[in-house]
Amino acid sequence: MKTNAARQLDRLGIPYELRSYEVDEEHLDAEAVAAKIGLPAEQVFKTLVARGDRNGVCLAVAPGNAQLDLKALARLSGDGRIEMVPLKEIQTLTGYIRGGCTALACKKDYPVYVDETVELFDRIAVSAGVRGLQIVLAPADYIRAVNAVAGDIAR
């Protein structure tokens, strides 16, 4: 199954692998997904939607086993303070639903901030834009595809 996220990578000539998994509505977290696709949680990155007081909406991409540090994200994004966007707004803003949110082929080109630990791995996994499908690719390719800024944003 090709998603818009996979099509974006195809257009950019970026190699990737698709890994499907069975969706469990009760366990949509990145750690559960990591176990299902056979990768450690720190190698499966979740995409979170936040809003800063100066720069508006941004996407934060953090390891599945970590928490987003909102103060660190605010520093990196140039915002005074930043907060998570309410779940009910995510689909309107991104075109994606919880458990299927990705910076790839997002509805708008929001700034993307990825935790610097992304550079520790040869391959990482991110959502393919739907529940039940992950994209595995090289971190440098992901950063290039979404024009991400890497920094220390997770704890």
SS (H, E, C) the chain: CCCHHHHHHHHHCCCCEEEECCCCCCCCCHHHHHHHHCCCHHHEEEEEEEEECCCEEEEEEEECCCCECHHHHHHHHCCCCEEECCHHHHHHHHCCCCCCCCCCCCCCCCCEEEEHHHHHCCCEEEECCCCCEEEEECHHHHHHHHCCEEECCEC
What is the model's pTM? Answer: 0.95
Domain extent at residue 126: 4-151
CATH number of the domain that 85 lies in?
3.90.960.10
In this model, does residue 152 exceed pLDDT 80?
yes
Summarize pLDDT for 30-80 with one digit per residue, the tens. 889 999 999 999 999 999 999 999 999 999 999 999 999 999 999 999 999
Tally of structural domains, the chain:
1
